[in-house]
A = this chain, B = another copy of it.
Amino acid sequence: MFLIHKFNTFLCRAATMVPCQVPRWSTWIFRASPQWQRTACALGASMGQQRWLSLPWRVSGPLAFRGCSSTALGVPRVMPTSERYPVQRLPFSVVSEEDLAAFERIIPGRVITDPEELEVANVDWLRTIRGCSKVMLRPRTTEEVSRILRHCHQRNLAVNPQGGNTGMVGGSVPVFDEIILSTALMNQVISFHDVSGILVCQAGCVLEELNRYVQERGFIMPLDLGAKGSCHIGGNVATNAGGLRFLRYGSLRGTVLGLEVVLANGTVLDCLTSLRKDNTGYDLKQLFIGSEGTLGVITAVSILCPPMPKAVNVAFLGCPGFAEVLQAFSTCKGMLGEILSAFEFMDAECMQLVGQHLHLARPVQESPFYILVETSGSSAEHDSAKLDGFLEQALGSGLVTDGTVGTDHSKIQSLWALRERITEALSHDGYVFKYDISLPVERFYDLVMDLRGRLGLRAKHVVGYGHLGDGNLHLNVTAEAFSAALLDALEPYVYTWTAAQRGSVSAEHGLGFKKKDVLGYSKPPTAVQLMWQLKALLDPQGILNPYKMLPARA
C-alpha cells in the first residue's frame, strides 16, 4: 500500500519534468520508447508540453545538424587532425580531375565537392577530429559502390566509408584527403518478413527510421542508442554497436543474419542470407561486423528483429552508494529475470550536467547514484507484479532511496532522456576526454573516484555512467579546452588501470583513429599480428579507412 502510494507520488512529480529551453541539437538523439513509433514532428505534436519538439528541426541526418551547429552557429573550427596528432600521410594517389570525371560517370550528380558540404563530413560528431577530404561520393546501389572501389583500387586512392558520422573515436572522418564514401542515399528497405521479423535493408538506413518501420509491423530493432536519429545500420554493424538493448537482445554478432559487403578491390561478397542458422563454412560476415570500415564497405544488412513487447516499464531510482547499485543489479536479475531489458546507471555529476546544459529536471531526490531499470514483456499485469516486487524489496532493504516509475510513452521517454542525453550534455561542457571501457562490475566505479583524486581541479568534471548490466562504463572527463597535460595525466593511466583488471579499453565504441594505438592493452601481440594479416588479405593496398583501427606496426 505504502509502496503504491509512494510511487504514485513520484509519478506526479515526474510529470512536471519538462525541459526549460530549446536544446541546440537534440531532436535526432531523442529516444523513441520501444512501444511507440513516430517522426520527430508527430512526437512534437503529441507532446505539447515538450516545447522543443514543435520546432521544425530537420532530422535528415548529420549534415542537417552539422550545417547549423558548426559554421552556421559560429562554433570555432576544429583543429585539423594532421596538425594535432603526429600522423604521416601514406603514399596514396591524390584525387585528380580524371578521377572526378570517372566518379561522375558512375554516380552522376552525386559527386560532392562543395566545401560547405565537405566541411560537415570532414568533422566528427564530437568536433575533435578534422580531415581535409576534397570529395564525397554518394552511391545509391551496391553496383555503384563496387565500381567506385574498383576505380579507387586501381588508382590507389584511399577511401573513408561514412554512415551517420556519429562515431565516437574519429573513425568516420578522413585524417587527410581520403575520399568520403557516404551511405546516406543507400536507404531502402529491401524486405521484411512479418512472421519471422527478419529485416533486409541497405546499409544507409537510419536506425530510428528502421525502428519505426518495423514497429508498424509489430517488431522492434534489436539495438537502440542515443544516436539513433542519425546513425546508419551499416555504421552500427561496422562498429558492432552495443547500446541500450544489448542486455536483452545481445550482440549484433548474434542478431545480424547476413551482410552484403564490397571488398577493397570492388568484389561484391554476398552473404546476405536471412537464416537463423547456417553452418555452411566460415561465417564470413563476422569479419566485417566491428571492422570499422577497414576490411570492406557494408552495403546491405539482414537482421533479426524481436517482437515488440506488449508492456514496457521504466523505473528511475536513486541509490545511496555504489555498493547498493551493484546489489540492486543482482536483485533485479533475480526478480525480473527474463523481462529485464535495461539496467543503466549514472552518477550525481551526470545528473547535474543534464540539468545544467539541457535543463532536464531530476525526477527523484538527489542521490549519489541513479539507476534506470527497464522491463519489456508480454503481459502488463505480470510485469508490473514483478517490478513491484523488486521495488518493494529494493526500497525495503535500502538499496534504493527514492524512485519513479513510467509506464506510458511520454513518461518513459522523459526518463530515458536523462540517461540518453548525457553524451550530449557532456559535449556542451567543454572538451571531452572519452573512455568507453569494460570492467568487472565490482571495480566499475573505482576508476572514476580514483581519477577525481588524481586530476583534482585540472578537470571540470569526471563522470561515470553506462550500461552497468553489460559491464560497460562510460568514463568522461571534461575540461575547458583540449589540454596535452590533462591527456598525459589520463593516458596511459586509464588504459593500464583497465588492463590490470583484464578489462577492455574499448567496450563498444571501437578504436577508429583515436584509440588505435591502445589496442595492445586489451589484445596480445599474436592477435594484433593476425589482425594485420587479415587486413593485408582483404585490403592489400590498405586503401580502406587507413590510419584507423590497426596500430602502427612495430
Contact = CB atoms under 8 A, between A and B. Distances in A.
A391 to B, nearest CB: 16
A114 B71 CA distance: 79
Contacts of A274: 502
Interface in A440-459: 440-442
Interface string A251-267: 10111000000000001
Contact of A290 (B275, B283, B528): B283
A267 B526 contact: yes
A282 B287 contact: yes
B279 A530 contact: no
Interface in A323-344: 330, 333-339
B378 A338 contact: yes
B531 A438 contact: no
A502 B273 contact: yes
A438 B278 contact: yes
A272 to B, nearest CB: 10
Contacts of A15: none
Contact of A279 (B441, B467, B507): B507
Interface string A501-537: 0111111111100010011011110111011011001
A79 interface: no
A386 interface: yes
Interface string A355-394: 0000000000000000000001111001001100000000
Interface string A89-108: 00000000000000000000
A471 B275 contact: yes
Contacts of A196: 440-441, 471
Interface string A267-289: 11111011111111111101101
A240 interface: yes
A250 interface: yes
A126 interface: no
**Chain A interface: which size bin?**
35 or more
Contact of A336 (B289, B378, B550): B378
Nearest to A503: B275
A187 interface: no
A312 to B, nearest CB: 12
Contacts of A287: 282, 286-287
Contacts of A284: 527, 530-531
A250 B276 CA distance: 9
Contacts of A333: 307
A441 B253 CA distance: 23
Nearest to A375: B338
A234 to B, nearest CB: 16
Contact of A386 (B291, B378, B506): B378
A430 interface: no
A253 B507 contact: no
Contact of A507 (B275, B335, B509): B275
Contacts of A504: 273, 275, 277-280
Nearest to A383: B382
Nearest to A326: B195
A526 B530 CA distance: 22
Given A278-B522, A379-B382, A506-B279, A250 B242 contact: no
B524 A270 contact: yes
A533 B537 CA distance: 8
Contact of A281 (B278, B507, B528): B528
A472 interface: yes
Contacts of A506: 278-280
B472 A268 contact: no
A549 interface: yes
Contact of A471 (B269, B276, B549): B276
Interface string A112-152: 00000000000000000000000000000000000000000
Contacts of A508: 277, 279
Given A275-B502, A282-B531, A282-B534, 20 more contacts: A195-B330, A195-B442, A242-B279, A246-B276, A250-B254, A251-B254, A269-B524, A271-B523, A275-B471, A276-B472, A277-B504, A277-B507, A279-B510, A280-B504, A280-B506, A287-B287, A307-B337, A338-B377, A379-B385, A382-B386
Closest 4 CB pairs of A and B: A337-B378, A254-B254, A286-B286, A278-B504
15 contacts: A196-B440, A269-B524, A269-B526, A270-B526, A275-B503, A277-B467, A278-B506, A279-B507, A280-B521, A281-B519, A281-B523, A281-B550, A307-B337, A310-B337, A382-B382
